[in-house]
Amino acid sequence: MARNLPTIGDKFKGAVQKTEQEKKIAELQAEVERLRVTQSPELEVELAFLREHLQNQSGEAQIDVDLIDPNPNQPRQTITSESIQAKARLLKKYGQITPIILVPQENGRYMLLDGQLRTEAAKLLGWKNIRAVVVPMPKDLDQSSLMTFLGFEDLNPLDKAEAIVKEVNKSTGLAIDEISTMLATVLKRIERDRKIKELTQLIAVSVEEQQQGLEALLVTGLEQNLLLVLLELGLNPGSVKNNLLPMLSLPQDLKDAIRHRGLKGAHALALATLSAKALGTSEQKAEKERVKATDRVLKENLTVPETRDIIKQIKANYLTPAKSQSKEVKSVIQKINTLSSASLVDASSEQLQELKTLLQQKLAEIDKVLG
């Protein structure tokens, strides 16, 4: 097997002290993410090395599930009962194939770094203990957790977006609106210079090469810090801008559908166009239409193009066809516009009163039609 990348096993040769072990585990997590990003065929082999060497270093043990606490800052904020039941069925049929990864706490309890679904499924099955590997506390637990979860396809885009924004905020101090604005600005400039391909290629290189590459693209200061965070996490900045950050501004009904009903991100973005402004109606009525459309999308398992089709149908029901211009009304408007102040002064009181009464009657009719 070709070894273009350094192997995980090489990082764990020889005995190491605890502080050195922490450093190696951090390097290991970064290596796993890089393999995931490049979709390397070596990934499963390398993960096997990880499990083996972690067991040799820290030891695999049977841990009481009641002593395990979730990581409060983990990226996965959504775990549905359906996903737990599905995992429980697999555990019951095949047993626990891989151990979970835990971090020890001072009170004798453990915090999950990887394996929440397996842990919840074990509880559902009534298991007393679960196989686990205990590793030292990473220096940056939030980033370690994020890197662990980013490679999983079942992490929904809303959880992913929130976790990424939190990591960017911690590293740069930028708020969510500042992140969106700055990312859009720097990407627009890179696109204008036709250098997007060069930016994308920086995902799979070292941090030093990423920094040098951004400097070559004339990206400095906070813009560089922002892109470095995304690139170090193996993320395409353009994809973050177009597909992830919009998740954060979705209406609450669509966020709930993503978290609890498995609605996909692309479907949610399409359904979000059923806004009060787009339909020309109230927020309450727009939400009712979105909820009804979301129910249909999930029930019928519609594709994104099919979802867009029903959105078009809904919008068509709200749009009033524009009426053609009346030549007669246009002629009257033109004649009234030609009626000068001098003409009114020269008219008799009877004529002016008759004109006033007639105009008032027509205004009442116009209000009735418009109303």
Over the stretch 259-295, which tens digit does the pLDDT of each residue have? 888 898 899 999 999 999 999 889 999 999 999 999 9
Smallest Cα–Cα separation from 157: which of 61, 75, 274, 87? 75
DSSP string, 45-95: HHHHHHHHHHHHHH-EEEEEGGGEE--TT-S-----HHHHHHHHHHHHHH-
- Tokens for 363, please give them: 């205004």
> What is the CATH class of 9-150?
alpha beta
- Given the DSSP bridges, would you call strands 100-104 and 110-114 parallel, antiparallel or unpaired? antiparallel
- Contact 311/266 with Cβ under 8 angstroms? no
| Alpha carbons 177 and 174: distance in angstroms, whole number | 8
Q: What is the mean pLDDT of residues 5-31?
A: 47
CA 47 to chain centroid, in Å, comes to: 27
Task: State both tokens at 313.
Answer: 């149908």
CB atoms within 10 A of CB 191: 12
**How far is 111 from 67, CA to CA, in rounded Å?**
9
* Residue 8 clears pLDDT 50, i.e. is over it: no
Cα three-residue angle 250-200-189, rounded to 5 degrees: 75
Look-up of token digits 């502080």: 19
First to last CA, the chain: 76
| Tens-digit pLDDT profile for residues 39-92 | 555 555 655 555 555 554 545 788 999 999 887 766 555 666 777 887 888 888
Q: Which secondary-structure segment (H or E) carries 69?
A: strand 68-69
Domain coordinates in residue numbering, the chain:
9-150, 157-246, 250-318
Amino acid symbol at 143: Q
The DSSP symbol for 216 reads: H
Q: Rounded to two decimals, what is the model's pTM?
A: 0.51
Q: Is 114 helix (H, G, I), strand (E, B) or coil?
A: strand
308-341 pLDDT, tens per residue? 999 999 998 887 665 677 888 888 888 888 888 8
**pLDDT top residue among 117 and 291:** 291
Per-residue pLDDT at 9 exceeds 50: no
Q: Would you say residue 192 has pLDDT above 90? A: yes
